[in-house]
Structure 1
């Protein structure tokens, strides 16, 4: 008989998450799986006290990960239906799911049960073989601890992210030397992130950037990405990134920096 329990220590899922990532057909988005997922609730699936699967649900009631081992006796389709029909008392109401097209089994389960489907984000991967536009290069500097408050304020005003979350997130990036800043006349013009993975997909570096609203449309975003790709190359890592499907300007900048997109992050809403 299957039992479902809330996971207190996410490290208990390390082996299952290794399997989860190994079954993907491409690199998964770093911000989603290493930013949003750890902040969400995890529930373990147990058969005879053996952990054979898990799911991850964010505070808005959306599934972010779903996995059931091939060794499990439980029918995966039936379990998924029970989850999204809110028939499991230990799990709060599930409204929908986010899943990438690089996660075929989880994607198929969502397609079988969705009420509405919308492309949320485009996932990109840098390709060295692609000829990029010749543009001026910029020099970015590693962010220092004493610049934390200034850059938290910059990001909060530019993209509307909560300061409390940014403070923790940026502090970690600064410690790991993964956050860069581009200044002009002592003003912050852009920030860039080159996040290395400690587990699961160690051959990739996940890039992120923020450009001041007053300096967009000038090619700076592409310059920032070119710089960050160079940082990834220094570590022999392939650069990946993503942006929302409606953000045409970012998509253009990413493409100009030699990235291609073959996968999407999809939002599903259930009945």
Structure 2
């Protein structure tokens, strides 16, 4: 008989998480799986007190990961449908899920129970290791802790993200040596991130960038991204990144830098039984 219980420590899921990532057909989005997932509630699936799978639900009621071991007696389709149809009191309301096309088994289960599906983001990666010349003589400077306030203020103005969250996020990147800036005449024009993975997908570098609104459409984004790609390649890593489905400017810049949109992150809504 299957039992579903909250997971107190993510360390309990270490082996299952490894199996989960091994089943993916391409690298999974770093921000979603290493940023949002750890902040979500995790639930374990137990058969005879043995942990055979798990899922996680974010604060908005959307599933972000679902995995059931091949050794489990329970059928994944039956369990997933039970959750999607709100038939488990353990979870509360599960509105839907986010899944990528690089997670075929999880995505298939989502689609089986979907009332609607929309593309949330495009997921890019490098196919060939040829270095783009688009970066030219652009110079990125590694961010220092003394510059944290500058980067936070820049991002607040450029993308409207919360200052408190940015302070922690950028502070962590600076500590890891993964945040870079493009400065002109003492003004921060763009920020670039070359994030490395501590576990899973360690052969990839997850890239990110923000460009000042006044500089958009002038090729700065492509140049910054091209420089980040070069940095990743010099470390023997394959660059990857993602952007929102509606951000056409970023999509053009990413493709000019040589990355290909091989996969999608989709938002699936489940039928709500009121």
TM range, smaller chain: over 0.9
User: What corresponds to 2:90 in structure 1?
Assistant: 90
In structure 2, distance between residues paired with 1:107 and 1:261: 18
User: What corresponds to 2:227 in structure 1?
Assistant: 227
Q: Name which of structure 1's ranges 4-13 and 64-73 shifts more when overlaid on structure 2.
A: 4-13
Contact 1:133 1:256 in 2 (8 A): no
Give RMSD over aligned pairs. Answer: 1.3
Q: CA deviation at 1:87?
A: 1.4
Q: Name which of structure 1's ranges 196-205 and 145-154 shifts more when overlaid on structure 2.
A: 145-154
User: What corresponds to 2:245 in structure 1?
Assistant: 245
Runs ≥4 residues deviating over 6 A = none
- The TM-score, its normalising length taken from structure 2, stands at 0.96
User: What corresponds to 2:115 in structure 1?
Assistant: 115
Offset from partner CA, 1:111-161 (integer Å, 9 cap, x none)? 111000111110001133668564533101111011112211211222122
In structure 2, distance between residues paired with 1:44 and 1:135: 46
User: What corresponds to 1:195 in structure 2?
Assistant: 195
Residue segments in structure 2 that go unaligned for 5+ positions in a row: none
Q: CA deviation at 1:85?
A: 1.3
Contact 2:226 2:257 in 1 (8 A): yes
In structure 2, distance between residues paired with 1:257 and 1:241: 12
In structure 2, distance between residues paired with 1:146 and 1:120: 35
User: What corresponds to 2:27 in structure 1?
Assistant: 27
Q: Name which of structure 1's ranges 103-112 and 123-132 shifts more when overlaid on structure 2.
A: 123-132
In structure 2, distance between residues paired with 1:65 and 1:135: 36
Contact 1:24 1:104 in 2 (8 A): yes
User: What corresponds to 1:43 in structure 2?
Assistant: 43
In structure 2, distance between residues paired with 1:202 and 1:150: 30
The count of corresponding residues between Structure 1 and Structure 2 is: 271
User: What corresponds to 1:4 in structure 2?
Assistant: 4
Offset from partner CA, 1:220-258 (integer Å, 9 cap, x none)? 001111111121112210000000111111010000001
